[in-house]
Amino acid sequence: MNDPLTPYGNRPMVTPIVHAVNYEYRDFEVLRKITDGEIDGYTYHRDDNPTVRAVEKKIADMEGAEDCVVCTSGMAACALVYLTYLKAGDHLILFHDVYGAHYKISLILERLGVEITWLGADQSAHLNQYVKANTAMIFLESPTNPQCKIIDIAAARRAADRSGALLIADNTFATPFHQHPLRIGAHMVIHSATKALGGHNDLMAGAIAGSKADYDKLWFTRQAIGTTLDAYSASLLERGLKTFPLRAERMAANALALATWLSSQPKISRLHYPGLTNDPGHKIAQRQMQKGFGGMMAFDVGLSQDDAKRFISSLRVIVHAVSLGATETLICIPYLTTMLYLPPERRTSFGVAPNTVRLSVGIEPAEVLIHDIEQALMQV
């Protein structure tokens, strides 16, 4: 029987967008084989979709994973992992230096009986001290959000092995262009594919890459709660992946140029970029990252939040917006945006200041970005 999508045997250059919610069964034996997992096939969109499946396989290949589950957002991906692998009585180690929405999820998990220990990224060197017999999961980002601190993933895996805990690494900041957590110890890797993988501010998606056994478990949770990505967003994501290596390379080169220049500016302090040789995480980053150090950095502007606001309001090229990993260079004050989920006293407890800004470097010419920052700093 000919494939209706390729009637003459020549495949389309772009994966077709299959909007179908449900699928006709040729006969009951085909239905049985599909539902028993003997053959690839589709029954209902909440279960699977061929456009989504195509992009899952590509992300799995990028991360060196056996398979990948794609869902509706980065936080949906995190929730899938928590709901799939944690139960009442388990202990979870989280770092303050993660996206602020994890705080909301932590409140839900605690209500369900999960014990949570919050650590600063700087405490990761002593992670062994916090692992307990019931530690079931360690969740980290490296580089961290928003301060771009570096956590030793291999060392975190050794700590996780003390209790048989799962090590989950969010690779959104580093991207698979610069870092492969599965190769250095993580059990699973998470992405907010909304960011650099998509790269154009026009889709929302999350991804979890790992083993085939993990795919099966995560698929069960995704199917149960209905967070399968829509086909159109999956198509946009696949399109973004085609230019991803080019964008990632340019962003990293631009970021290093900007960080080097910013390091000599008197109105900039506490600059965090792992590509700088004097950055506290540089040596570990050199060991676990490759082809550069990504496009993210954080720094303090002036002496107050008003200084940071005046600086951002004076920018003409760089865009004041949340999110990251886009073709455009984006900037925000985490205290007022990405950390808004946290109580005020927690926003500064691990090093973020009211005048800390997070910069996501895009693909514009580096000299244009430097000039824009230079003229904005004159207003501080």
**Minimum mean pLDDT among 25-29, 39-43, 162-166, 277-281: which range?**
39-43
pLDDT per residue as tens digits for the range 147-186: 999 999 999 999 999 999 999 999 999 999 999 999 999 9
In this model, does residue 9 exceed pLDDT 80?
A: no
CATH number of the domain at 49-239, please?
A: 3.40.640.10
What pLDDT is stored for residue 340 in this prediction?
Answer: 87
Average pLDDT of the residues in 120-133: 95
Q: How many Å apart are CA 185 and CA 108, to the nearest integer?
A: 28
User: CA dist 145 to 203, 218, 226, 273, 338, Å?
Assistant: 21, 25, 28, 12, 9
Where in the sequence of the chain do the CATH 3.90.1150.10 domains occur? 244-377
What pLDDT is stored for residue 13 in this prediction?
Answer: 87
Reported as a pLDDT band with limits 50, 70 and 90, residue 1 is very low
User: CA dist 253 to 199, 286, 294, 296, Å?
Assistant: 17, 15, 8, 11
Element (H, E) at 240: helix 231-262
Please state, as a whole number, how many other Cβ atoms lie within 10 Å of the Cβ of residue 116. Answer: 19
- How high does pLDDT run on average in the chain? 95
Q: How many Å apart are CA 90 and CA 286, to the nearest integer?
A: 34
In this model, does residue 5 exceed pLDDT 60?
A: no
Where in the sequence of the chain do the CATH 3.40.640.10 domains occur? 49-239
Classify 299 as helix, strand or coil. strand
What pLDDT is stored for residue 349 in this prediction?
Answer: 86
Which CATH number does the domain 244-377 belong to among 3.90.1150.10, 3.30.1490.20, 3.30.70.100, 3.30.2350.10?
3.90.1150.10
